[in-house]
């Protein structure tokens, strides 16, 4: 990459995913230009997978894929990052117009054996309708055999722990946590770069494959009544995969120290970094060697999520 080419944060073109449980609120809340007459459940905002690529939408790198940046310009954009074959995170917006299946993602210990990819994730509730809830873990201790029998009897929803949520809540989901999303939730999802899901129960939907045997290998049956994230100041979660902070932006701040990169997501109000303006639901990648690294509040009660990857 020629010196000085990076003058702006990088923005990417969203990839919209039709889902049976999706809706239209990503257009209503965030002005996303959704395909017409389709239930859109996911907007893949930052992704580097063989089947899906984020493409830069601004500046001199416009048209380059995230994978090209990761493999060709890693030092300039991502700094001293882990030597992984692909960018390690996948970041989405989710619109659960209807309930998602009750499901699990595999931990490292069994993912490869099952032919999948490990997946730990984090949810930030960007919008919640009255009565919205998340399904996470179990109400009480459950045995593997007891769980399997309950699934076969069609009663597994009676076992799941339900957590009422409002806008601004957050939940951490380590791999192995049995979970689902209730109707009326719009979430920011930050996760390992994985697309492996083992569905156990799909409510009244009959046409999607279930994966009980795989799920039984993955579920943490000791995961009883997990709670929402309890912020420590600005810190929401620090894991070996990602660190996520929530900033209320009253004055300009450096997005991240030089030599490191960050991803920022505007939550409320409006923010600006260099010549890029972000409205709610907009994401930008602040490169490791960008000169102007300040994020500025521009309008309203400005707030953002800042995502970094620990060294």
What residues act catalytically?
A: 199
**Distance between CA atoms of 6 and 73, rounded to whole angstroms?**
11
Rounded to whole angstroms, the Cα distance separating 116 from 213 reads 14
Distances (CA, A) of 60 to 9, 52, 70, 226, 272: 11, 22, 16, 45, 19
Q: HEC states along 97-165?
A: CCCCCEEECCCHHHHCCCCCCCCCEEEEEEEECCCCEEEEEECCCCCHHHHHHHHHCCCHHHCEEEEEC
Residues 6+ apart with CB under 8 A from 80: 259, 311
The number of angstroms, rounded, from the C-alpha of 21 to the middle of its chain's C-alpha atoms is 17
Residue 202 in tokens: 């799909």
The Cα–Cα gap between 164 and 170 comes to 11
Give CA separation, 19 vs 98, 100, 117, 119, 162, in Å: 10, 10, 21, 20, 23
Q: How far apart are CA 227 and CA 161, in angstroms?
A: 10
């Amino acid at each position: 990459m020629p010196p000085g080419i990076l003058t702006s944060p990088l923005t990417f073109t969203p990839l919209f995913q039709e889902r049976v449980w999706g809706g239209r609120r990503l257009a209503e809340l965030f002005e996303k230009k959704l395909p017409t007459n389709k239930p859109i459940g996911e907007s893949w905002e930052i992704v580097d997978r063989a089947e899906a690529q984020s493409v830069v939408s601004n500046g001199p790198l416009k048209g380059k894929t995230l994978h090209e940046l990761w493999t060709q310009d890693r030092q300039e954009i991502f700094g001293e990052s882990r030597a992984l074959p692909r960018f390690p995170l996948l970041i989405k917006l989710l619109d659960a117009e209807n309930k998602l299946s009750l499901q699990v993602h595999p931990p490292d210990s069994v993912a490869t054996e099952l032919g999948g990819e490990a997946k730990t994730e984090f949810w930030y509730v960007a919008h919640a309708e009255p009565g919205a809830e998340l399904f996470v873990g179990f109400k009480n201790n459950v045995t593997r055999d007891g769980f399997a029998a309950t699934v076969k009897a069609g009663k597994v929803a009676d076992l799941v722990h339900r957590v009422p949520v409002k806008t601004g809540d957050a939940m951490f989901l380590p791999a192995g946590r049995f979970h689902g999303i209730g109707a009326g939730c719009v979430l920011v999802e930050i996760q390992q770069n994985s697309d492996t899901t083992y569905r156990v129960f799909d409510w009244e939907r009959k046409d999607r494959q279930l994966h009980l045997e795989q799920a039984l290998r993955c579920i943490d049956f000791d995961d009883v009544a997990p709670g929402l994230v309890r912020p420590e100041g600005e810190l929401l979660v620090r894991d070996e995969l990602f660190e996520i902070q929530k900033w209320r932006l009253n004055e300009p701040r450096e997005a991240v120290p030089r030599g490191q990169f960050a991803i920022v997501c505007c939550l409320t109000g409006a923010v600006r970094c260099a010549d890029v303006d972000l409205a709610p639901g907009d994401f930008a990648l602040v490169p490791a060697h960008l000169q102007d690294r300040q994020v500025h509040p521009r309008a309203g009660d400005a707030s953002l999520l800042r995502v970094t990857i620990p060294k």
